[in-house]
Amino acid sequence: MNMHAQPQRTLAETALIDAFGERLSLLPGDGAVMVKRDDAIEAIKHGLPTRRVESWHYTDLRRLLTSVPAFEAEVAAKALDPVLDGSAVLPVLNGASSAKLPDVEGVTVQRLSEKLTDGSVAPGLDPYGADDAIGALNTAFVADGYFVDIADGTQLEKPIELQNLQSGGQAHVRLLTRVGAGAKAIIVERQAGEGGDALISSVSQLVLDEGAEVTWLIVQEQPDTATHLAQFKAHIGKDAKLTLFVMNAGGRLVRQEVVVRTTGEGADFKLRGINLLAGDTHTDTTMVLDHTVPHTTSTEVMRNVVTGKARGVFQGRINVHQYAQKTNAKMACNTLLLSDDGEFSTKPELEIFADDVVCGHGATVTEIDHDHLFYLMARGIDEKTARGLLVKAFVAEVIEELDDEALVDALEARLDGWFSTHG
């Protein structure tokens, strides 16, 4: 019996619990889904995680989530031009999927509301652990999204862009994708909004079958009025390759979790991330990577730029299971701190139960190199422009690693956009 007194609920906790009671009759789902929702709201009733929960140590959600907006947005969100030219766009606008979708050969798309109603996605709705507040929040409230199935052997010529766009209010979205054996795809997950107090939970689940190759780009450009709680979960099968690129360039309170398992030998995972942090914001990227089978590889590189009073967090945890011999994993987190009031916390963790592995991690925090700045200025480039060039260079190095001209150009354009408004 738990004897300690339940602390008084915060305004946000109360608002979420009340909203669940009001929304329940509107949420799609069969009996199995409804059971999952009940379990999830129970977890929230126990309280949002605080800094005393290890995985939330640097992001005290209970303290930071100060208010929860009403559900409905006052204005409609509009679909955006895709990040990559020619992409097939699947929009979720203010939490609702679209009935009218592009036809892409080899790709089957279903609205998630339908898959909730028929209960076929119920097994995937469980949070991944007791501290999975984002999973619980999303399972309780998820109303829509997409299920995308890319058939075995499909070589997608054009990228797919999943757009999750809000103009305020709440949205709880799930994006499920299976990439069949030997299939190849570029998928953009666009997370953006147009202002207005917003609370977004978004869970992406990706399964890569044998030999599949996917580049998945998360482009997060929420307005600074949005709380963005997101999760990306992936299983990487035998000889499959996943490159995940995460760009955080917005939001007031952001947590992007990356939960990946290598499930087949020869699986390879690359995480490349840039955090562009400004204003009085809080952005947390938390990765949990499980190497569960032998002969799998991973590399993680994060580059962070911190300005203003922004606070950033990167937690990277690599678990190498007992039988996962010959695992090769490397993780690096480099931060450029441009303001005395900004901060960045890094917590790398390696937990290794196998005895024949190569694993390493490193973290640095630096300022702009004054020799470099002098060199650029000595060529007539004014100080502001020169600093901009050097900061951009610091993060662009990670983008250029993607080694695909269209991707690099598109992401550098997003980068330029951010610098033109925050430089």
**What's the closest the beta carbon of residue 377 comes to another protein, in angstroms?**
4
Nearer to another protein, 178 or 387 (CB): 387
**What's the closest the beta carbon of residue 417 comes to another protein, in angstroms?**
17
Q: Could you say which residues in the range 20-39 bind another protein, by CB under 8 A? A: none
Residues found in the chain? 423
Q: Using an 8 Å Cβ cutoff, are 159 and 188 in contact? A: yes
Among 152, 397, 401, 404, binds another protein (CB under 8 A): 397
**What's the closest the beta carbon of residue 27 comes to another protein, in angstroms?**
47
Distance, C-alpha 282 to centroid of its chain: 14
Residue 405 interacts with another protein (CB under 8 A): yes or no: no
Four-residue CA torsion sign, 400, 405, 408, 413 = positive
Residue 396 interacts with another protein (CB under 8 A): yes or no: yes
Q: Using an 8 Å Cβ cutoff, are 67 and 138 in contact? A: no
Among 1, 103, 378, 405, binds another protein (CB under 8 A): 378
Residue 383 interacts with another protein (CB under 8 A): yes or no: yes
Q: Which stretch binds another protein (CB under 8 A): 49-57, 248-256, 347-355, 382-390?
A: 382-390
Residue 371 interacts with another protein (CB under 8 A): yes or no: yes
Identify the H or E element spanning 412: helix 405-422
Distance CA(15)–CA(41), nearest Å, equals 12
The CA-based dihedral angle spanning residues 160, 228, 44, 73, taken in that order and rounded to the nearest 10 degrees: -90
**What's the closest the beta carbon of residue 396 comes to another protein, in angstroms?**
5
Q: Which stretch binds another protein (CB under 8 A): 78-86, 92-100, 217-225, 390-398?
A: 390-398
Distance CA(122)–CA(167), nearest Å, equals 28
What is residue 218's DSSP assignment? E
Residue 372 interacts with another protein (CB under 8 A): yes or no: yes
As to burial, measured by CB atoms within 10 angstroms (0-12 exposed, 13-18 middle, 19+ buried), residue 54 is exposed
**What's the closest the beta carbon of residue 370 comes to another protein, in angstroms?**
8
**What's the closest the beta carbon of residue 337 comes to another protein, in angstroms?**
17
Distance CA(336)–CA(25), nearest Å, equals 48
Among 26, 355, 380, 421, binds another protein (CB under 8 A): 380
Q: Using an 8 Å Cβ cutoff, are 300 and 331 in contact? A: yes
- Applying CB under 8 A, the site for another protein has a residue count of 23
Distances (CA, A) of 138 to 23, 40, 225: 13, 8, 20
Residue 393 interacts with another protein (CB under 8 A): yes or no: yes
* List of residues contacting another protein (CB under 8 A): 370-372, 374-383, 385-386, 389-390, 392-394, 396-397, 400
